[in-house]
Amino acid sequence: MELWELSAYELSARIRNGELRAKDLVFSVLQRIREMEPLIHAYISLDEEGALRKAEEVDARVARGEKVGALAGVPVAVKDNICIKGGRTTCASKILENFVSPYDATVIEKLKAADVVLLGKTNLDEFAMGSSTENSYFGPTRNPHDQERVPGGSSGGSAAALAAGEAVLALGSDTGGSIRQPASFCGVVGLKPTYGRVSRYGLVAFASSLDQIGPMARNVRDTALLLKVISGYDPKDSTSAPVDVPDFTGVLDEGIEGIRIGLPREYFAEGLDDEVRERVMEAVDLLEGEGAEIVEVSLPHTKYAIATYYIIAPAEASSNLARYDGVKYGFRAEGEDLYQMYCNTRGQGFGEEVKRRIMLGTYTLSAGYYEAYYLKALKVRTLIKQDFDEAFKTCDLLATPTSPTVAFRLGEKVADPLTMYLSDVYTVSVNLAGLPGISVPCGSSDGLPVGLQLIGRPFDEETLLRVAYVVEGSLKGRSEP
């Protein structure tokens, strides 16, 4: 087995006790990247020199008997909407093509304190607006399981890098499913933490009341390890919650005897692919066999979730993206006067999907439409959250499909934005309610991965990880893509 195929928890232990050189691991991953990148295009930028320099530093400290961080020497890929000091942060947009971040995001500071090796920045839908990683200024990423299909989005680069062996761990961001849906499509694990669990300082804003950075990995234990490293209160983020960070790995072996798992009937209705339903229900049956109690619940306002999300998210995007005007930083197009310069900069600098969402958001916030659309959407958002509150009175977590289908073909939905938006029908509610959610592989359909989504109470990622760990163990070796 090649080094790039091993788990983060095994690799970090071997590096810390001197059995394995971090430099050898990084060489292995970089060689894999050279082999796979022409086919997959998971990265926007790579820092090979910096990665090798960090690996040598870790090896030298281990040789001297010094203490090193929890993930010392482990190669990590970072979605390119998270700032790393001195490196480009493009958000896969022409408007930020040459922007160099002057500071580290809080999660990057935490990763550096854990002595990880930062490999580079992964591809995404421009400004994280998309479900396929086809909306990137730098070109689409391809799914390692079938290169004619999408890896999902918007964290498609991170998910594809993991599935192709081009990274051991990765960071993504999730505004309406952008960690969980690509994790499902690429057959990896992706966790969207509770809103406030992980600092958003240094994440380029899309929709500030929905955005959340989260961990992605090839197995549940690695996901738990990475979540522990990046979690915690941050005074630089006003939405960061002052809550304790538990030992997420410590609960994985506790089993699930007596845990009550709810199946929302609205998530198993029309539009769900039959084989996806079968794989998800097989996983649910396995959980029941492991001692969980399965109950049916209802989330009656689910049918309004997509409409609510696509009013609130574009409205916040309209405000957040107003800063890209060609004056302060980023791309600038010339014009005869200031107004023309603004128009040219934004017209040439943003892609079609970003412009579509800015216009949608600006419209819903405009005089005469604010109450009819935005204010009503906020009220429905409250009803959606209340649905979850009610459901959690009778169960400990919910189990649903992550996506209604497996990965679709490149180009299949680009011309039909509404169909593309419906890819997130099972994920957006979690962001609207501020809850934690995880996608874990639960088999395959026609050789393509299927994901099971688990949704938990606020700040109860431990229960999600416990259940996901049982799913992973029970299904290991069965119907893998």
pTM of this structure: 0.97
Q: What angle do CA 244, 178, 473 make, to 5 degrees?
A: 65
Q: Mean pLDDT over residues 377-397, rounded?
A: 98
Distance CA 356, CA 362 (A): 10
Token pair 């800015």 is found at 358
Q: Mean pLDDT over residues 6-15, rounded?
A: 98
- Which residues are the active-site residues? 79, 154, 178
pLDDT tier for residue 87 given thresholds of 50, 70 and 90: very high
User: Which tokens is 1 given?
Assistant: 């087995």
Asked if 93 and 353 count as a contact pair (C-beta separation under 8 A), the reply is: no
pLDDT of residue 415: 87
pLDDT of residue 273: 97
**Residues 409-459: pLDDT tens digits?**
999 998 888 889 989 999 999 999 999 999 999 999 999 999 999 999 999
Distance CA 459, CA 197 (A): 7
User: Which tokens is 29 given?
Assistant: 């991953």
**Residues 344-369: pLDDT tens digits?**
999 999 999 999 999 999 999 998 89
pLDDT of residue 480: 62
Asked if 163 and 39 count as a contact pair (C-beta separation under 8 A), the reply is: no
| Closest by Cα among 367, 408, 405 to 150 | 408
| Cα of 131 vs its chain's centroid, Å | 11
What is the arrangement of strands in the sheet containing 189-192, beginning at the earlier edge strand? 43-46, 117-122, 75-79, 169-173, 213-217, 189-192, 437-445, 448-456, 397-401, 260-264, 293-297
pLDDT of residue 436: 98
Bridge partner list, 198: 231
State whether the Cα torsion 329-335-336-341 is positive or negative. negative
**Residues 335-346: pLDDT tens digits?**
999 999 999 999
pLDDT of residue 476: 75
pLDDT of residue 81: 98
pLDDT of residue 368: 87
List Cβ neighbours of 420 (8 Å cut-off, separation of 6 or more): 130, 131, 132, 413, 414
Left (φ > 0), alpha (ψ -120 to 50) or beta: where does 73 sit? Answer: left
Share of the chain above pLDDT 90, in %: 96
Q: Which CATH number fits domain 3-251: 1.20.58.1000, 3.40.50.150, 3.90.1300.10, 3.40.50.720?
A: 3.90.1300.10
Token pair 């680069």 is found at 157
pLDDT of residue 418: 85
pLDDT of residue 478: 59
Which DSSP category does 100 fall into?
B
**Residues 281-338: pLDDT tens digits?**
999 999 999 999 999 999 999 999 999 999 999 999 999 999 999 998 899 999 999 9
pLDDT of residue 13: 97
Q: Mean pLDDT over residues 52-59, rounded?
A: 98
